[in-house]
Each structure stands twice: as C-alpha cells, then as structure tokens.
Amino acid sequence: MLIIPAIDIREGRCVRLTEGKFENVEIFSDNPIAVAMKWVNKGAMMLHIVDLDGAKYGELINISLVEQMVKKVNVPLQVGGGIRSYKEAERLICLGVSRVILGTILWKDKVLAKKLFEDFSEKIVASIDARDGKVAIEGWQNVLTIDALNFAGEMERLGAKRIIYTDIKRDGTLMGPNVSNIEKMLKNISIPLIYSGGITSLDDIKKLMRLKSSGLEGVIVGKALYKERILLEEALKLVDSE
C-alpha cells in the first residue's frame, strides 16, 4: 500500500487546512519545493500536490511550483486543484505530471471528463470529495445533493481508472479515518481507491492496510506528517513489512 505525503499549496506556501475550510489554515513552510524534496529523501514513492488557490478560483495558479517539483524530484506526482479544461490537464501531463486529478469538472462537464479518461487513461484520476456523504466541489466550498458513493460508481462507468476519496470532515482534524465509509466506497467500485482524510497514527495505517485486498491502493497523509504524529520512515517500513 502506498503512503503518499500531501503538499497543499496556497499563495506559494505549503499549508494544511482543517475540514477543507480556507479560514482554518496552518502554514508549515514557505518553500514547497524543499518540502517535496524532504519527503522524497525520506523514501516517499509518490507525492500528492494540491493547488488550493486553483481549486478555489477554478484555474491553475501555482503551476510554476508544480513545474519546479517535476524537475527537482524523481518520483511521480499526482496534481489537482482548479483543472477545469482539456488544455490544462494536457499541459500538466506534458510538464511531466504522472497523474492529473479531476474534481469539479467531473460534475460540471461529464463529456469532457469522459474524453480525458479516454485520451489519458491512467494519467487521469477522479477525485470524490465528500462532506457528510455528499459530493463537494469548487475547493470544497459547494456541497451538492449528490451521493458520493453513487457518484463514484458513475465515474467508474464513465471511464475512470482510479479514484481518490477524501472525507472532508476528517481532513486535517487528526481524528482518524472513518473506516466504515471507506469500506462502503470500496464495495461500490471495482477500480483502485486512494483514501485521504484524518489519518493520525500508525495504528490508523494498520487498520487501512487490511483493506488492501478490497482495492485500497494507498493513503494520503498530510497534517500527521507535518505535526510528526507519524514519521514517514516508520509508515513506509510498516507497509513494506506486510
């Protein structure tokens, strides 16, 4: 199972939000490039990069930092935040991004989403962000009436090869993951799932490792790494021992 450190970028800084709320922001570094290199040097095999400004405003804003990361680190990057057009997704892939994460556009333009799934296959990831079981879009600022489980199934039928599922109410809270929700999501799809939200301890990771056989491919860890509640080396050692 992959342990994927998260690097959320806002106004050029590495930050973490609590429950996806932009007013609940904590700054961890003024240098996201150095943070990326730190996690890679500690053994990370992939990084999860989110342009929070892009997610909020609907366009790629911190793309220059993403481009620098691609050049500086030698592991795959999955990047999301504000990607609302074919051109933007293609631009990131041409820069060397391994996976482009789609969120809002999945709901707003399913024809475009289907074309991106068809044209770029594994390089496009569907992000299902949920608050109280309902899909949230536009930087998690707008919660729809759409059921997240049903929407995930719809995205698989549309052509998605992989889903990132975020439990917004757990994200950045250090409360631990809602395992039953993850199990429900895994039962609803037959493609690999990556989970994000609330992972706090090695015990949390141990619990989630049991879901690997059900399709859980990896977990994204953010605040717990920055607060040193989890040491990346120990988490990697744990999953390597399975």
Q: Which residues are tagged catalytic?
A: 8, 129
Tokens for 231? 């040491």
Report the C-alpha gap between 105 and 150 in whole angstroms. 17
Report the C-alpha gap between 125 and 175 in whole angstroms. 26
Confirm if 7 and 16 have CB atoms less than 8 A apart: no
SS3 content of the chain, % helix, strand, coil (to 5): 40, 30, 30
Return the biggest CA–CA distance within the chain: 43
Contact partners, residue 149, CB within 8 Å, separation at least 6: 133, 184, 185, 188
Contact partners, residue 65, CB within 8 Å, separation at least 6: 9, 12, 32, 33
Where do the H-state alpha helices sit in 42-146? Answer: 52-57, 63-72, 86-95, 104-108, 110-120
CA 142 distance to own-chain centroid: 18
Tokens for 145? 């009436």
Q: Name the strand (E) or helix (H) holding 225.
A: helix 223-226
